A and B are shown apart, each in its own frame.
Chain A
Amino acid sequence: MRANTWAGRNKVEVRDVPDPKILNKRDAIVRITSTAICGSDLHLVDGYVPTMQDGDVMGHEFMGEVVEVGSGVAADRLRVGDRVVVPFPIACGACAACAAELYSCCENTNPNAGIAEKMFGHPVAGIFGYSHLTGGFAGGQAQYARVPFADVGPLKIESDLTDEQVLFLSDILPTGYMGAEMCDIQPSDVVAVWGAGPVGQFAMDSARVLGAAKVIAIDKEPYRLRMAEEAGHIPVNFDEVDVRSRLLELTGGRGPDKCIDAVGLEATHGSAHIAAYDRIKQAVRSETERPHALRQAILSCRSGGVVSVIGVYGGLLDKFPAGAWMNRSLTLRTGQCHVQRYMKPLLERIERGEIDPTRIITHTLPLDEAERGFEIFKNKQDNCEKVVLKP
């Protein structure tokens, strides 16, 4: 089959690879009809997530049709012919983490738990196409994928919603939603979202759905800010204005009640000096992150507020404003999304028309053009917000 693979730093390549096979009894094989490129894939391609290998099949946002199931998958759970969206974290459904609905922390699905434990203190779940640290599972930017624990994760789509309407249930819609949910939003809340990428856009929409009074979008890409504005959010361009002053203005001096970091470890900074400082530290490995958005979110948040982090971090960061966090009673919440927890309720919201996930799709390309897809998404060319690939 054809598959988009990691081919070293800053390089992806669509190659011919073997078709996937059932390796465990509870596996299914899915013929992929739609898949997408995610901001998390950029961290892999840019070389910030260790343990990638040449030839790793990328992609963790995909859906399609079940073409084969293992002997351990009960027919009332999943059958050949079912149309499914596959959540990016692989979860067993039986461990203590799964019982607590902390699916991305599943204790059983990462065959490389030993390395993950060394990096993170405790292991994390397996994830499709997302380094060997999270299990070494082939991803979904391909014609077919093997889906372990197929009787737990995949969501059956039985209505006639299009791929485009449901594809993002695999990751970014639940992720944005979880970012907003962790904020414990009250009707009087002003919510500020750093990053107007796909995840940020969905965090904004979710904050609105959960009843926020005002939602602010912070980014530097005018077209992404315009997209947020068209959806009813207030744009703030950090290249043009001082974010802190603008936020104070927009909140009567209080600061946003809830702040969401939807940027992660590759944030850029308006000041060249500070951007250079973190880039150098990242290069000599004395920090692995460039946490500008996180720092700014913590310093901006009103006292007693919540900072919700859905942007990805991988290792160690420097100049964490611990003083602001501690002395001003801030709550910090975070996590890789526990996608399985949100798929059904969000599908219902899509069916009821409360959220329109298709609004962020700017490009649809054949899988064979994945390389170009990565390029325009990464470099923000051609007003690219989200790329859907068709195998």
Chain B
Amino acid sequence: MTPLAAKDRQDEVQRRGRGLGWMSLGLGVAQLAAPDTVRRISGVDDSATSRAVVPLVGVRELVHAAGLLTSRRKSAWAWTRVAGDAMDLTALGIALARRGGSRRRRLLAVTGAIAAITVVDLLTAVQATRKKDVGSGPARKGGSMELTATTTIRKPTSEVYAFWRDLENLPTFMAHLEQVRTTGARTSRWTADAPFGKDVGWDAEITEEVPGEKIAWRSTGNADVPNTGSVRFVPAPDGVSTEVHVVLAYDIPGGTIGKAVAKYFGEEPHQQLDDDLRRLKQVLETGEVVRSDGAPWGKRARKEFPQRPAQPLSDAELAKGADA
């Protein structure tokens, strides 16, 4: 599978996980708020046991919902739904064996619906589990990875273009870069920041430039992590701002460097580029990357939460600086 198709599928699994979460929420609320209606529709309104069971199932659904809606690890929570389905099917089987007539017809319909839902749950659980194995997809195993991000900056296109075209500015906001040095009109030498890969560096050349509109570049020679990038600058509809559209693609090797890069991008590779562009916006609009006590290290702030407490830094902490 191509990396992009794999990514689409992961998105679809996340989306479906969330969808199932909302469904659990709806079911849980219905079973708790109107248990008698649920019992009638299911054809078990003649049983005293069901009076106790339906609200319990409702509580269980709320637990599924909380997990699926709030956790990033959809796989474990999707499996809890599969287990729940198995419980429901068993209970329905017992109920079916004891009933006839219209109650049996209603029970059969509900059983059919639950069986169909079980298939979706199983599929989601299996795919979510597989997704976890893949980790950040191509980054973990080596392969190519494409990232896109966009932001709007309240400065004219000419200014945003000029800032980016001076490639030596890139490390002020791009977390994975330590330094970019211009070596010619279109050539430059890029050095990675340690978390991305210690001692990783590469030469790059600009492959296309349209002043005020577009810049594209690619690594040249024997780069450790061959990569290409492009950025487009589009006037925003407000007449004062610039939309910045960035595409980066990496050919991630196997081995130690590949591992470091995979670790750098983590579970959500897009987050890195989104944050890069937030910092670009801060630098251009306010002059600097904004620091807080919880996240005092600007682009070296690696972890959003938990971070250091929102409490002033001691002299020692300030002198020590960010963890590499």
Residue interface mask A140-159, B partner, CB < 8 A = 1: 00000010110000000000
9 A-B pairs with the lowest CB-CB distances in the bound complex, closest first: A136-B294, A55-B309, A111-B295, A20-B312, A56-B310, A23-B291, A18-B314, A136-B310, A138-B293
Name the segment of A88-96, A265-273, A292-300 touching the other chain: A88-96
Shortest C-beta distance, B169 to chain A (Å), equals 17
Given contacts A17-B312, A25-B288, A286-B65, contact A53 B294 (CB under 8 A): yes
Say whether A195 faces chain B, with CB atoms less than 8 Å apart: no
Residues of B within 8 A of A110 (CB): 290
Cα separation A112 to B306 with both chains bound (whole Å): 11
CB distance from B190 to the nearest CB of A (A): 25
Expressed in whole angstroms, the Cα–Cα distance for A3 and B291 within the complex equals: 20
The stretch among B43-51, B129-137, B177-185, B273-281 that forms the contact with chain A is B273-281
The verdict on A285 contacting chain B, using a C-beta distance below 8 Å, is yes
Using known A-B contacts A53-B294, A111-B294, A112-B295, determine if residue A24 contacts B309 with beta carbons closer than 8 Å. Answer: no
Given that A114-B271, A148-B290 are contacting pairs, would A108 and B281 also be in contact in the complex, using a CB cutoff of 8 Å?
yes
Separation of A110 and B298 alpha carbons in the complex (Å): 11
Q: For A3, give the chain B residue with the smallest CB separation.
A: B311
A interface residues, Cβ below 8 angstroms from B: 1, 3, 5, 17-21, 23-26, 51, 53-57, 72, 92, 94-96, 99, 107-115, 126, 129, 132, 135-139, 146, 148-149, 284-286, 318
Which residue of the partner chain, among A95, A96, A111, A148, contacts B301 with CB atoms under 8 Å?
A111
Within 8 Å by CB of A53, from B282, B301, B309, lies: B309
Among candidates A109, A114, A138, residue contacting B310 with C-beta atoms closer than 8 Å: A138
Q: For residue B281, which residues in chain A have a CB less than 8 angstroms away from its CB?
A: 95, 107-108
Within 270-323 of B, Cβ neighbours of A (below 8 Å) are at 271, 274-275, 278, 281-282, 285-288, 290-296, 298, 301, 304-315, 318
Does B30 reach chain A (CB closer than 8 Å)?
Answer: no
The number of chain B residues with a CB under 8 A from chain A is 45
- Complex Cα spacing A309 to B306, Å: 31
Per DSSP, chain A at the interface is loop
A–B Cβ pairs within 8 angstroms, 26 of them? A1-B312, A17-B312, A24-B291, A25-B287, A25-B288, A26-B287, A53-B307, A56-B309, A56-B310, A57-B293, A92-B285, A94-B285, A96-B152, A99-B154, A108-B281, A112-B295, A112-B305, A132-B304, A132-B307, A136-B295, A137-B293, A146-B293, A148-B290, A148-B292, A284-B59, A284-B63
Residues of B whose CB lies within 8 Å of any CB of A are: 25, 28-29, 59, 62-63, 65-66, 70, 152, 154, 238, 241, 271, 274-275, 278, 281-282, 285-288, 290-296, 298, 301, 304-315, 318
6 further A-B contacts with Cβ under 8 Å, apart from A112-B295, A115-B304, A132-B310, are A21-B313, A24-B290, A25-B287, A111-B292, A137-B294, A285-B70
A17 CA to B312 CA in the complex, in Å? Answer: 7
Q: With A and B bound together, what is the CA distance between A318 and B28 in angstroms?
A: 13
- How far is the CB of A113 from the nearest CB of chain B, in Å? 6
Considering the complex, give the chain B residue whose CB is closest to the CB of A96. Answer: B154
A94-B284 Cα distance, complex, nearest whole Å: 10
Contacting pair B154 A95 (CB below 8 A): yes
A138 touches B286 (CB 8 A): no
Min CB gap A283→B, angstroms = 10
Interface pair A149/B286, CB less than 8 Å apart: yes
B130 to chain A, nearest CB (A): 24
Q: How far is the CA of A112 from the CA of B241 in the complex (A)?
A: 23
Q: Is the CB of B290 within 8 A of A111?
A: yes
- Which of B70, B290, B311, B313 is within 8 Å of A55, CB to CB? B311
Residues of chain A within 8 A (CB-CB) of B294 are: 53, 56, 111-112, 132, 135-137
Write the nearest CB–CB distance from B285 to chain A, whole angstroms: 4
Residues from chain A with a CB closer than 8 A to the CB of B315 are 18
